[in-house]
C-alpha cells in the first residue's frame, strides 16, 4: 500500500502528529511531526509506503524506533539512526512494524548561524545528522515521553539560537524574508532582479544565498512553493481552482508544471487521483 501526499489526506492528517512552528521559529521551521503508526500494523502487517513530492528545505529525522528505508528518486537508503534529508526530490519512505520517526521540517536551518554549512552540497543523499545538531538535544528528544515534550525541547533549542544570532547573517535574513514575503502575499513568480535590488545585492549573490541556505536557487525554491500550494488547493476544491491566482500566464503553463511535479514512476498516482488533471477552467 502506498499513501500519497495531497491525496491520502486522512492518512497524513491522522497518522502523523503535526505542529506548526510559531513566532520567530516560523521563519525557519515549517512544522514538527512524528509518526503514529501503531494502529496500522494489524491492517498492514507487511508494511506500507508514504510518498511525498519535492519541497523546499530539508528535514532532520530522529529515529525513535527500528530501521526504515528512505527512497530518493531511484536510490534507496536504509536508515538505522538519525539523518538529514534534502527535500528537493521525490521521496518514498518504506515503513515496517516498529518504525517511529520524529521530524523537523526546515525551510532554513539555524545551524547556519553556528557552522559553515553550504546546503548546496547536501542535495543527493541522506546524510548523518551528528554534526548538524547538538547530540545532547537529540538524546533528550529520544528520551522525552511524548511528541509535545519533543516539540518543546526542539523549539526552545532553536529559539535560543535564533535570538542569540538574530540579524548577524545577511544570507539567512534575505532568504527567510523572501520566502516569508512570497508565501504571505501569494506571489510565487516575482522578479528575481527586483528581489535582489530590494536587498541591495546582485542576482548572483541572491542565488548564492539561496543555494547555501536551501540547497536550490531562489527560482527553484519559489517554483516549488508555487506548485505545492496550487496542487493543495486543486485537490481540495477542483471546481473553485484558478491557476491565475498562482501567476501562471495560461492553462498550458500550469498544466506543464503540474505534470512535471506529479509524474514519477515510483509514485502510484492512479485513478481517481488523475482526475485533478481534468480541471475545467
| pLDDT tens for each residue of the chain, 281 residues long | 899 999 899 999 999 999 999 998 999 999 999 999 999 999 999 999 999 999 999 999 999 999 999 999 888 999 999 999 999 999 999 999 999 999 999 999 999 898 888 888 887 788 888 788 999 999 999 999 999 999 999 999 999 999 998 877 788 889 989 998 888 877 777 788 989 998 899 999 999 999 999 989 999 999 999 999 999 988 888 888 888 888 888 888 999 999 899 888 788 765 545 555 554 44
In a domain, 137, yes or no: yes
Nearest to 215 by CA among 82, 113, 71, 112: 112
> Tens of pLDDT along 12-23?
999 999 999 999
CA atoms within 13 A on the CB side of 265: 3
In a domain, 226, yes or no: no
pLDDT of 281: 42
In a domain, 175, yes or no: no
In a domain, 223, yes or no: no
> Tens of pLDDT along 113-153?
988 888 888 877 888 887 889 999 999 999 999 999 999 99
Separation of alpha carbons 95 and 178, rounded Å: 36
53 contacts 99 by C-beta, under 8 angstroms:
no
The dihedral built from the CA positions of residue 114, 117, 118 and 123, taken in this order, carries a sign that is: negative
Domain CATH number, residue 15 = 2.60.120.10
Separation of alpha carbons 261 and 224, rounded Å: 9
Pairing of strands 127-128, 83-86: antiparallel
In a domain, 122, yes or no: yes
Separation of alpha carbons 64 and 60, rounded Å: 13
The dihedral built from the CA positions of residue 145, 137, 95 and 229, taken in this order, carries a sign that is: positive
pLDDT of 209: 92
In a domain, 83, yes or no: yes
Name, in order, each residue with C-beta under 8 angstroms of 108's C-beta and a sequence gap of 6 or more: 27, 28, 57, 172, 175, 176, 179, 213, 214
Separation of alpha carbons 245 and 262, rounded Å: 20
Q: Which domain holds residue 45?
A: 2-165
Nearest to 233 by CA among 178, 267, 225: 225
pLDDT of 280: 41
Separation of alpha carbons 69 and 11, rounded Å: 19
Grid cell of 87 as nine digits = 527535500
176 contacts 108 by C-beta, under 8 angstroms:
yes
Nearest to 165 by CA among 209, 115, 103: 115
Number of independent structural domains in the chain:
1
pLDDT of 13: 93
In a domain, 196, yes or no: no
| Backbone phi and psi for residue 125, each to the nearest 5 degrees, phi listed first | -135, 180
In a domain, 194, yes or no: no
pLDDT of 278: 52
Whole-structure pTM value: 0.90
Amino acid at each position: 500500500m502506498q499513501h500519497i501526499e495531497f491525496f491520502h489526506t486522512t492518512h497524513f492528517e491522522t497518522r502523523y502528529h503535526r505542529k506548526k512552528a510559531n513566532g520567530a521559529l516560523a521563519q525557519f521551521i515549517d512544522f514538527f511531526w512524528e509518526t503514529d503508526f501503531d494502529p496500522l500494523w494489524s491492517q498492514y502487517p507487511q508494511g506500507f509506503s508514504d510518498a511525498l513530492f519535492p519541497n523546499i528545505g530539508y528535514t532532520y529525522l530522529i529515529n525513535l524506533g527500528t530501521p526504515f528505508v528512505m527512497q530518493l528518486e531511484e536510490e534507496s537508503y536504509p536508515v538505522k539512526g538519525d539523518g538529514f534529508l534534502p527535500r528537493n526530490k521525490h521521496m518514498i519512505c518504506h515503513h515496517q512494524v516498529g518504525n517511529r520517526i520524529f521530524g523537523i521540517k526546515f525551510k532554513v536551518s539555524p545551524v547556519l548561524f553556528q557552522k559553515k554549512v553550504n546546503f548546496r552540497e547536501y542535495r543527493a543523499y541522506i546524510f548523518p545528522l551528528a554534526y548538524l545538531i547538538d547530540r545532547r538535544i537529540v538524546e533528550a528528544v529520544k528520551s522525552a515521553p511524548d511528541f509535545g515534550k519533543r516539540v518543546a525541547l526542539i523549539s526552545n533549542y532553536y529559539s535560543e539560537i535564533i535570538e542569540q544570532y538574530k540579524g548577524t547573517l545577511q544570507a539567512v535574513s534575505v532568504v527567510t524574508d523572501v520566502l516569508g514575503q512570497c508565501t504571505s502575499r501569494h506571489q510565487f513568480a516575482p522578479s528575481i532582479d527586483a528581489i535582489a535590488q530590494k536587498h541591495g545585492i546582485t542576482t548572483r549573490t541572491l542565488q548564492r544565498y539561496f543555494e547555501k541556505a536551501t540547497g536550490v536557487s531562489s527560482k527553484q525554491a519559489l517554483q516549488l512553493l508555487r506548485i505545492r500550494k496550487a496542487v493543495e488547493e486543486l485537490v481540495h476544491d477542483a471546481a473553485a481552482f484558478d491557476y491565475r491566482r498562482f501567476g501562471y500566464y495560461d492553462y498550458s503553463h500550469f498544466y506543464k508544471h503540474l505534470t512535471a511535479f506529479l509524474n514519477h514512476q515510483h509514485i502510484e498516482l492512479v485513478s481517481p487521483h488523475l482526475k485533478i488533471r481534468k480541471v475545467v477552467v
